[in-house]
Amino acid sequence: MSLPAAFVSVILIWSTTPLAIKWSALGVGFSFAVFARMSIGTMLCVALLLALRVRLPMHRKAWQAYTVSGLTMFGAMALTYWSSQYISSGMISVLFGLSPLLTSLGAALWLKEEAITRHKLAGMLLGLAGLALVFRGGFHMGADAAMGLIALLLAVLSQSFGLVWLKRIDDDSPPLATTLGSLLVALPFFCAAWWLADGRWPAALPERALAATVYLGSIGSVLGFVLYYYMIKHMEAGKIALITLVTPVLALLLGHGLNNEAVLPQVWLGTSSIVLGLCLHRWGEQWLAYLPLRR
């Protein structure tokens, strides 16, 4: 697949993932929902590797990538599913919109990809202002929502840190193999989390929860992660994270239209500030070049 096609596909997948996460936990609980999703993803990855005759690399760099990706995947997904009990799907995507700023900061400090210029710093500050507005809206919804937002922020940090670390490892394994290796590392942790949190098989699986879990396990986990790792190998970390420039707005609209989620004015303002900060962070230098006073 071409990089532009992969880029657009991941935008669509990530825009629908927050709402699917909400639906997948209906009647079954968050811990079972995420464990079921990762189990489906693992089995599908094994089937695809066998069908396509893709080998699973076992060298040192590959295991480093599997371990880093698997652990950060567990941290990000477990916290996201837990927080989905208390906050809307749109807010999940909004907070993940901060990942480009965090990833770019990590890439600049650890990978030396880009320097932190004034316009990038201004973009980060706008992103932080947007985060403060979103948290303000969350506090108005009660203590549970505030705790959900804090957990989600930790999930964003985990994902951003994992992306930068994977770029530093620079493993050349096939993306599908990296996906399976990461799932094999993460799956026992998801199983343990389900066992400790609940440990009971649901008496019934609602149709919407079942459909959302299958979608997340196949499209969200396998196709989404394969394309994600594919882009990691061929694009800079900061550019990959720009996917979240679009997903917050789409996710808010989907949550409002399909799940009747209320969107507070503070959340819209916070989303606008985060998106503007992302734009300034990425294209601020080009914008400044067109100013008439610029020499």
pLDDT in tens, 191-224: 999 999 888 888 888 899 999 999 999 998 888 8
**Closest among 107, 81, 221 to 160, alpha carbons compared:** 107
pLDDT band for 117, please (50, 70, 90 cuts): confident
**What average pLDDT does the segment 272-292 reach?**
74
The C-alpha atoms of residue 224 and residue 226 are separated, in whole angstroms, by 6
Q: What is the pLDDT of residues 162-171, one digit of tens each?
A: 988 988 898 8
As given in the structure block, the two tokens for residue 106 are 């990590």
- Positive or negative, the CA dihedral 218, 221, 222, 225 is positive
pLDDT at 252: 85
Quickly count: other Cβ atoms within 10 Å of residue 26's Cβ.
15
**Separation of alpha carbons 61 and 67, rounded Å:** 10
Provide the pLDDT for residue 104: 79
Residue 288 has a pLDDT of 64
The residue ranking higher by pLDDT, 50 or 229, is 50
Cβ neighbour number for residue 136 with a 10 Å cutoff? 15
Q: Where are the domains of the chain?
A: 3-286
Instruction: Report the pLDDT averaged over residues 97-116.
Output: 77
Query: Secondary structure of 19-34 in the HEC alphabet?
Result: HHHHHHCCCCCHHHHH
Provide the mean pLDDT of the chain: 85
pLDDT of residue 292: 58
Query: Which residues, 6+ apart, have CB-to-CB distance to 202 below 8 Å?
Result: 27, 28, 29, 32
Residue 148 has pLDDT above 80, yes or no: yes
Show Cβ contacts of residue 163 under 8 Å, excluding neighbours closer than 6 positions.
99, 103, 106, 232, 237, 240, 241
